[in-house]
Chain A
Amino acid sequence: MTGRALTFGLFLAFILITLAITVRARATTRGADDFYAGGRTFTGPQNGIALAGDYMSAASFLGIAGIIALNGYDGFLYSIGFLVAWLLALLLVELVRNAGRFTMGDVLVRRVRRQAPVRRAAAVSTVTVSVFYLLAQMVGAGALVSLLLGIHRGERFLGMGAATAKTVTIVAVGALMILYVAFGGMKATTWVQIIKTGLLMAGAVVLTALVLGRFGFDAGAMLGSAADASGKGEAFLRPGLQYGQDVPGDAYRTVVNKLDFISLALALVLGTAGLPHVVARFFAVPDGRAARTSVSWAIGLVGVFYLMTLALGFGAAALVGRSAIVAQDPSGNTAVPQLAQAVGEHVGGRAGGDVLLAFIGAVAFATILAVVSGLVLASSTSLAHDYFGQVLMLGRPRESQEVAVARFASFLVGSLAIVLAVVARDLNVAFLVALAFAMAASANVPAIVLSLFWRRFNAAGVVAGIYGGLVASLVLVVFSPVVSGKVDPVTGESLSLFPAGVDFHLFPLENPGLVSIPIGFACAVAGTFAGREKADRDRYDDLSVRALTGAGSQ
């Protein structure tokens, strides 16, 4: 009970501090520049720390370490994809920052004559990707908090059972994220991210040091005892336990599994530069050069963090053990909190374990809150600026109107996400993160890259590319084994969203990226040639001068 009270107290402390920041940010947030881009007053390093915070979701903190703890090396493959992806962001960030003002839509319309359809497509894509990602985070929050408070094992907390606790958590997280965004805008969101990144890095460093300390700072020894404890021996340290499995005697399944893995890897590496909350943050700095600095800071932090997930994952496998992890949560999400308790106990007895567990729990909670706020901010910015300001008001809204709409939009998007997350609260939603990455890679990345680098590209191409990529990834997932037709060969239970017996899957891969990313690019190219509008070369030249030099950008 002391541990739970401590966890809960730390949750509350984080909430109070961030609300205080929000109130202060509210006082200095006036125009659109303040609300959408924090007044562009953040320095490169500050924004980079926040960018890393936007990116390192609970899925990467708890999820990746959990996969490593259960499946060994394959979790590390995730970390690598998530990190390498930043190089594409590094190349694009300056151009995007210079070419745009607040949103991806700003970048895409810079060179076309008819803005409305492009703006609309950008808003649709931003909101769709954000909502899928939001859902994953919020459902995860519900499951996680009830785990951390011990409610899932039939215990009660403040008189709540497990189902109620999940719903209450989702609603509370949702309400807080709406508060941060609607009142504090980009300023509050950025400070929440900076604090969260600090807590997350501190937590990871302390845990990593304690774990390595248990093995006399011999990483090889840790790997060895993780492999021994896993019961899988050497195979635990090699690729292939989870992704791209070989199916003996079934060449077709083996190939499908491998293609599925490559598909996932591709979406991870190409999706990052198109994630709405990542793109939105490119604009919170004064110029392109500061934007470049931000991304390089993010690369450093994310890289160091993912290196530490190795120690956390393998450490949990060695010190907590597979059966104890699976007993708490079959997908491994609690491996890190359990590890915290184990190493804490080793250092400081029962109290030490409780304190460290409470701290890691609070870090995970802060992480979820911060990431969902970033997503809500990105989608409400796009709705207000792209859709309301430029499409409905034909580009002539008063700034105060636009900001008011943005606050209202954050309320709308946030409420939608809360309702959907409560409905979906018991689903396993890990695939939603992969889907959001695939959508970003198939819809947003082709549009951004071709806008910046292809002279002939035009409005019809942008629109076709965005909708084509979005629809392709959605349709492929609906007809994939994720949704129907995947059955556990041993137990006969359904591994899909639909119960066993329902099977309308036509597409063999669980990750759509391998097919949907080429479709996104192909639609963009086909749309360009089909569109009657001739590319405006002068505008393109104007765009590239602005993008490369920053001349004329705000």
Chain B
Amino acid sequence: MRRRFRRAAVVVTAGFLGWYLVFVGLAAFARGFMARTIAGNVNVALLLGLLQFVSTFALTLGYLAYARRRLDPLAGELR
């Protein structure tokens, strides 16, 4: 169980922290790329920012489902 939780924790942490730092790095150092227009007034920066929201929600739901399916039953057994 410890291993399972750790694996999940490492995956989620690496996922959100890595992706967030990439985003922050882009915002600091790749201004040209971030300024590219996608459609109308929407540019890459705005789209990536919104994707941070989407990925946060997705990771939350993913972790909740994983915890319910894979961690809770184990915890119940161990108790």
Chain A residues close to B by CB (< 8 Å): 73, 76-77, 80-81, 83-84, 86-88, 90-91, 94, 220-221, 223-224, 227, 234, 237-240, 243-244, 246, 258, 261-262, 265, 269, 289, 292, 296, 299-300, 303, 306-307, 453, 544-545, 548-551
Residue pair A548, B41 in contact (C-beta under 8 Å): no
A117 smallest CB distance to B (angstroms): 28
Q: Which residues of B contact A88 (CB under 8 A)?
A: 13, 16
Residue pair B49, A234 in contact (C-beta under 8 Å): no
Residue pair A80, B12 in contact (C-beta under 8 Å): no
Residue pair A238, B79 in contact (C-beta under 8 Å): no
Of all chain A residues, the one with the shortest Cβ separation from B50 is A307
Query: Can you list 15 A-B pairs, Cβ within 8 angstroms, ordered by A?
Result: A76-B46, A77-B49, A81-B20, A83-B53, A83-B56, A84-B16, A87-B60, A88-B13, A223-B42, A223-B46, A238-B35, A258-B29, A307-B53, A453-B6, A550-B75
Residue pair A86, B6 in contact (C-beta under 8 Å): no
Residue pair B60, A238 in contact (C-beta under 8 Å): no
Of all chain A residues, the one with the shortest Cβ separation from B71 is A548
Residue pair B31, A545 in contact (C-beta under 8 Å): no
Taking a contact as CB atoms closer than 8 A, the residue among A80, A239, A544 that contacts B2 in the complex is A544
Of all chain B residues, the one with the shortest Cβ separation from A225 is B41
Contacts known (A227-B41, A548-B5); A238 close to B34, Cβ less than 8 A: yes
Q: Which residues of A contact B24 (CB under 8 A)?
A: 77, 81, 261-262, 265
Residue pair A258, B28 in contact (C-beta under 8 Å): yes
Q: Which residues of A contact B29 (CB under 8 A)?
A: 258
Considering the chains assembled together, what is the distance between the CA atoms of A503 and B44 in angstroms? 40
B interface, over-half SS: helix
Q: Which residues of A contact B39 (CB under 8 A)?
A: 220
Other A-B pairs, 19, CB within 8 Å; known A87-B16, A303-B57: A73-B49, A76-B46, A76-B49, A80-B23, A84-B52, A84-B56, A87-B13, A91-B12, A220-B40, A227-B41, A238-B35, A240-B31, A258-B28, A261-B27, A269-B20, A292-B67, A299-B56, A303-B56, A551-B78
| Number of residue pairs spanning A and B whose beta carbons lie under 8 angstroms apart | 122
Interface residues of B in 1-42 (CB under 8 A from A): 1-2, 5-6, 9, 12-13, 16-17, 20-21, 23-25, 27-29, 31, 34-35, 39-42
Q: Which residues of B contact A545 (CB under 8 A)?
A: 78
Considering the chains assembled together, what is the distance between the CA atoms of A292 and B68 in angstroms? 10
Taking a contact as CB atoms closer than 8 A, the residue among A227, A237, A289 that contacts B72 in the complex is A289
Considering the chains assembled together, what is the distance between the CA atoms of A545 and B75 in angstroms? 9
Residue pair B79, A237 in contact (C-beta under 8 Å): no
A309 smallest CB distance to B (angstroms): 12
The 9 closest A-B pairs by CB, nearest first: A239-B27, A223-B41, A549-B75, A220-B40, A258-B28, A244-B28, A265-B24, A87-B16, A224-B41
The residue among B2, B53, B72 with the most chain A CB atoms within 10 A of its own CB is: B53
Interface residues of B in 48-73 (CB under 8 A from A): 49, 52-53, 56-57, 59-60, 63-64, 67, 71-72
Contacts known (A80-B53, A87-B56, A550-B79); A239 close to B31, Cβ less than 8 A: yes
Considering the chains assembled together, what is the distance between the CA atoms of A221 and B42 in angstroms? 10
A236 smallest CB distance to B (angstroms): 10
Taking a contact as CB atoms closer than 8 A, the residue among A80, A220, A550 that contacts B49 in the complex is A80
Q: Which residues of B contact A240 (CB under 8 A)?
A: 27, 31
Considering the chains assembled together, what is the distance between the CA atoms of A244 and B24 in angstroms? 10
Considering the chains assembled together, what is the distance between the CA atoms of A69 and B56 in angstroms? 25
Of all chain A residues, the one with the shortest Cβ separation from B40 is A220
Considering the chains assembled together, what is the distance between the CA atoms of A91 and B71 in angstroms? 12
Residue pair B45, A238 in contact (C-beta under 8 Å): yes
Q: Which residues of A contact B43 (CB under 8 A)?
A: 234, 237-238
Considering the chains assembled together, what is the distance between the CA atoms of A29 and B30 in angstroms? 55
Considering the chains assembled together, what is the distance between the CA atoms of A551 and B76 in angstroms? 9
Considering the chains assembled together, what is the distance between the CA atoms of A64 and B78 in angstroms? 45
Residue pair A292, B64 in contact (C-beta under 8 Å): yes
Of all chain A residues, the one with the shortest Cβ separation from B23 is A80
Of all chain A residues, the one with the shortest Cβ separation from B63 is A90
Taking a contact as CB atoms closer than 8 A, the residue among B25, B41, B64, B76 that contacts A237 in the complex is B41
Q: Which residues of B contact A221 (CB under 8 A)?
A: 41
Contacts known (A73-B46, A239-B27, A549-B78); A90 close to B72, Cβ less than 8 A: no
Residue pair B1, A549 in contact (C-beta under 8 Å): yes
Of all chain B residues, the one with the shortest Cβ separation from A218 is B40
A13 smallest CB distance to B (angstroms): 34
Of all chain A residues, the one with the shortest Cβ separation from B51 is A80
Q: Which residues of A contact B76 (CB under 8 A)?
A: 549
Considering the chains assembled together, what is the distance between the CA atoms of A362 and B60 in angstroms? 32
Q: Which residues of A contact B40 (CB under 8 A)?
A: 220, 224
Q: Which residues of A contact B74 (CB under 8 A)?
A: 549
A438 smallest CB distance to B (angstroms): 16
Residue pair B27, A86 in contact (C-beta under 8 Å): no
Q: Which residues of B contact A269 (CB under 8 A)?
A: 17, 20
Considering the chains assembled together, what is the distance between the CA atoms of A223 and B45 in angstroms? 13
